[in-house]
Chain A
Amino acid sequence: MARPSSAARKRQEKFSLPAKRTVTLHVNGVAREVTIAPWTTLLDALRLHLDLTGTKKGCDHGQCGACTVLVDGRRINSCLALAIMKDGAQVTTIEGLARGSTLHPLQQAFIEHDAFQCGYCTPGQICSAAGLIAEGRARTADEIRELMSGNICRCGAYPNIVAAIEEAMEGKAAAKSGEAAR
């Protein structure tokens, strides 16, 4: 094949895209390689590259919380994180919370308290609540409400969401005191 002319090479250089890179994300305990452009968000890497569609795209601007996941144990908005910056990170999504067929206590509590209607915000609500419980800053219903303010529910299931989180928190506290008693 003939080599491209210098004009064509120049054109190519002008329009060449920044190179894709391969990064490793440890998603729900499994190392996954993704080859992505610099502008691929963590949310898009999870949904489009790894087919983990449990994490939802709501506003895509960090305002609704539907995309909440845990990165290295901390809840963040995955729509505002670049996947390329998370090389080597531990990522927990809604798909990673259950243990086999046993639901995570928050998932169980959300069902028992009817803490959702359409369900679109629910994966983000549950991941955010998991982060909230790990942070250990919420003790009262007021504090749960304040520290869940980054997750919007347009069906308005808030009272039941708070009740579900309170129950999961109590369960965790009971498990802890049980451990201490042993």
Chain B
Amino acid sequence: MNNFAYARASDVADAVRRIAADPSAKFIAGGTNLIDLMKENVARPSRLIDITHLPLDKVEETPDGGLRIGALVPNSDLAYHPRIEARYPLLGSAILAGASPQLRNMASTGGNLLQRTRCVYFYDTITPCNKREPGSGCSAIDGINRMHAILGTSDHCIATHPSDMCVALAALEARVLATGTGGERSIAFADFHRLPGDTPDIDSNLRADEIVTAIELPPKGFAANHTYLKIRDRLSYAFALVSIAVGLDIAGGTIREARLALGGVAHKPWRDREAEAQLAGAPATEESFRRAAETVLRDARGFGHNDFKIALARRGILRALAQASRGTPQSQADKRIA
């Protein structure tokens, strides 16, 4: 690790003041991704601002019947929170599909959003990478790209966002609350992360002087008909090749509303509103699911090693929609695919 200074933020205003004063400083909470990146010399902050003592560790009801999750709530506490288990099991399931128990105990809600890609070239400081070193080139496009994106890629970057939790948050239409020198604002989840375009070094639309303070969930949790299906190279503790979060509102065999988001396939959690609109009003049948999968993957493009992800995603979407419509969500302990 590079030598860095350390400071502890006393409140949110103090944290904002400190980050605004030093553009090369970084916030630290759980540290599970940042410390790793620092050990690899990918991140070299001048200063770490410890935010773990800020009062952002509550899960609270919102007036509209949703939940407000403090940015410092650990991933494990959130996954097992009684209100999450009862009303937003899709979110709990996605969290438990990711990382390990130790990492989930450390990692924070806000930090999960801001974790960086695990693209091997991003981590390997001797190879070109536009995300790590803008303008240096992308080593993955013609390199080993088995883990890489098939949707929303650019000529500059084909990295994926690694989070499972965020795929569920995208499907649930969460909002991200952030505070900066300009005050507080609320960001729709779909607008939080970015596609790579020609600036893949910028992962999210969070401003440099802003801190994530909370995630807000709307009242609708799709608890009766949901699933998080994660397909990976090992049965546990591995990043997704493809993952699918589904929430359905079904009455009498007809889908009233559908949410469908994919992980492991793009630079951000991938949600396709056209596919969701096709499902709304359709019967919960394999034919409807197939049409939705075709829509999601209409512009999918592989780069060689990851070509298989297109077929895998198609089958995964079919299976996940079937699981959700039957009300038999994928277990994250029993690994047989339901």
Once the chains bind, are B106 and A39 in contact (CB under 8 Å)?
Answer: no
In the complex, whether A76 has a CB less than 8 A from a CB of chain B is yes
Closest to A128 in B: B102
Once the chains bind, are B5 and A18 in contact (CB under 8 Å)?
Answer: yes
- Cα–Cα, bound, A147→B79 (Å): 13
- Cα–Cα, bound, A143→B48 (Å): 37
Find residues 1-38 in chain B having any chain A CB closer than 8 Å to their own CB. 1-6, 28, 31-32, 35-36, 38
Once the chains bind, are A132 and B101 in contact (CB under 8 Å)?
Answer: yes
Q: Which of B3, B35, B50 contacts A17 (CB 8 A)?
A: B3
In the complex, whether B305 has a CB less than 8 A from a CB of chain A is no
Once the chains bind, are A77 and B102 in contact (CB under 8 Å)?
Answer: yes
- Cα–Cα, bound, A145→B333 (Å): 8
Q: Which of A21, A60, A85 contacts B52 (CB 8 A)?
A: A85
Contact residue range for chain A? Answer: 35 or more
Which of chain B's residues have a CB closer than 8 A to the CB of A76?
Answer: 102, 105-106
Once the chains bind, are A82 and B105 in contact (CB under 8 Å)?
Answer: no
- Cα–Cα, bound, A169→B106 (Å): 24
Q: Which of A38, A41, A131 contacts B101 (CB 8 A)?
A: A131
In the complex, whether A146 has a CB less than 8 A from a CB of chain B is yes
Q: Given contacts A85-B28, A150-B99, could you give 14 more A-B pairs where the C-beta distance is less than 8 Å?
A: A39-B2, A61-B36, A62-B102, A81-B35, A82-B31, A84-B6, A85-B52, A128-B101, A132-B101, A142-B333, A145-B236, A147-B333, A148-B101, A149-B101
Could you write out 30 A-B pairs with CB less than 8 Å apart? A18-B4, A37-B3, A39-B1, A39-B3, A39-B4, A60-B39, A61-B39, A65-B100, A68-B102, A74-B105, A75-B102, A76-B102, A76-B105, A76-B106, A77-B102, A77-B106, A80-B32, A80-B103, A82-B28, A82-B31, A85-B28, A135-B76, A137-B80, A140-B333, A142-B333, A145-B236, A147-B333, A149-B100, A149-B101, A150-B101
